[in-house]
Amino acid sequence: MQKLLFTFMALLLCTGLKAQIWVSKNVTSSFFSSTPVEDIDAQSKSGASAINTKTNDIIFKINNTSYEFKKKLMQEHFNENYIESDKYPTSDFKGKIVEQIDFSKPGTYPITVKGNLQIHGVTKEYQAKGSLVITGDEAKATSSFNVKLVDHNIKVPTIVFKQIAETILIKMTAIYQPKK
C-alpha cells in the first residue's frame, strides 16, 4: 500500500511542483447488491487516495482482495469468478473535483467528482455527487454511486443471476490530511 501511495503522490506532484497534496491512507469502500433472494455486501478499509488541491485532481486505488464479506464463500467467488483478482488486482478512479474548493476554509461543501473508473480491466467515465467536510488539517470526503456490472464486463452465471443485482451501490469514505 505504501508503494501505491508513493505512486499517487508522484503522479500528482508532476502536475504542479508547488501543488498541495492531501492524502488518505485508509479509504473505506463498500458495495451492496440487493435482490429478493439475497443481499451481498462487502467492505474494504485499505484503499488509498490523494487530492491535488491546486488542480482538483483526485485518485483512488483499492486492492480487490481487500474486500471482506460476511460469508467467506462470497469472498472467494468475488475474487475468483467475478472480479478475477488474480488478473485484475486493483480498481481505481482518476478524475477531478468539479467545484473549486478552498481547502484552507473549514466547512461542508457539496462536490461533484468526474473521471474514469477502472474495474475488472474496463474503464468507464462516471460522475458522482458527494460531500467534503473540511475541519482545519483534515478533510472527509463521502460519495455513493451505482455501477452496472455489464459496464465493466463482469459476467454473472445464469445459475446465480437472481442472487446478484445488475447494479451495485458503491460507497466511498476518505479522510485526508495535508502531505507534510
Q: What is the CATH number of domain 2-14+21-178?
A: 2.40.128.110
Percent of the chain with pLDDT over 90: 70
Can you give the pLDDT at residue 33? 87
Task: Determine the Cα angle at 16 with ends 14 and 20, to 5°.
Answer: 110
pTM: 0.85
Cβ atoms < 10 Å from Cβ of 14: 10
Can you give the pLDDT at residue 34? 85
Euclidean distance between CA atoms 52 and 47, whole angstroms:
17
pLDDT tens, residue by residue, 129-174: 999 999 988 999 999 999 999 999 988 766 665 677 789 999 999 9
Domain assignments of the chain as residue spans, ordered by start: 2-14+21-178
Can you give the pLDDT at residue 18? 42
C-alpha torsion 123→125→127→128, nearest 10? -10
Cross-strand pairs, 97: 113
Can you give the pLDDT at residue 93? 97
Sites in the chain below the pLDDT cut of 50: 12-13, 15-18
